[in-house]
């Protein structure tokens, strides 16, 4: 198979494969840069993070379930299909590089809100259930 044939085959079937680094979306592909900046700024002080208010401020409440899943996949930095506690600590940086790290207390509170099966992570397959939990549906 020639290099061009390989490339064509990849393009034809790439929609069936998990997204590689080359097709990673930016948060601003889904949410407004202005809304992100305001929301991250509103929770810049230590111990001030409120996930319900934050997710509403960035505009997730107005987004479709498909867009919320896109945000989930952007935050899933290791592309495991889960957002683990270590990834949650840096959730604000997932929205903008200027975001602060969450404290351990804030991280654990966010994980507790999203991890209903107690496995220590939030799964992509549970996003629809969490949309209700977070007050988006």
pLDDT in tens, 38-72: 999 999 999 999 999 999 999 988 888 889 889 98
Residue 25 pLDDT grade (very low, low, confident, very high; cuts 50, 70, 90) = confident
Higher pLDDT, residue 24 or 111: 111
Alpha-carbon dihedral 41, 95, 35, 113, rounded to 10 degrees: -80
Does pTM surpass 0.85?
Answer: no
The pLDDT of residue 30 is 95
Q: Under a CB-based contact definition with an 8 Å cutoff, are residues 87 and 130 in contact?
A: no
The pLDDT of residue 6 is 46
Could you give the percent of the chain with pLDDT greater than 90?
A: 50
Higher pLDDT, residue 14 or 27: 27
> What is the arithmetic mean of pLDDT over 62-88?
90
Beta strands in the chain (DSSP E): 82-84, 121-123
Q: What is the mean pLDDT of the chain?
A: 80
The pLDDT of residue 115 is 83
> What is the arithmetic mean of pLDDT over 97-119?
91
The Cα 103–Cα 44 span in angstroms is: 11
Higher pLDDT, residue 61 or 126: 61
Phi/psi-derived region of residue 59, left when phi > 0, alpha when psi is between -120 and 50, beta in every other case: left
The Cα 59–Cα 33 span in angstroms is: 10
């Amino acid at each position: 198979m020639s290099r061009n044939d390989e490339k064509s085959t990849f393009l034809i079937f790439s929609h069936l494969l998990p997204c590689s680094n080359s097709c990673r979306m930016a948060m601003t592909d889904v949410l407004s840069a202005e809304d992100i900046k305001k929301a991250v700024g509103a929770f810049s002080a230590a111990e001030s993070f409120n996930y319900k208010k934050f997710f509403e401020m960035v505009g997730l409440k107005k987004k479709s379930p498909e867009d919320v899943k896109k945000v989930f996949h952007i935050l899933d930095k290791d592309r495991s299909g889960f957002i683990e506690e270590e990834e949650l600590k840096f959730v604000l940086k997932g929205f903008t590089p200027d975001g602060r790290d969450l404290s351990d207390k804030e991280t654990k509170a966010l994980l507790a809100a999203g991890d209903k099966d107690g496995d220590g992570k939030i799964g992509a397959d549970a996003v629809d259930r969490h949309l209700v939990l977070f007050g988006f549906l």
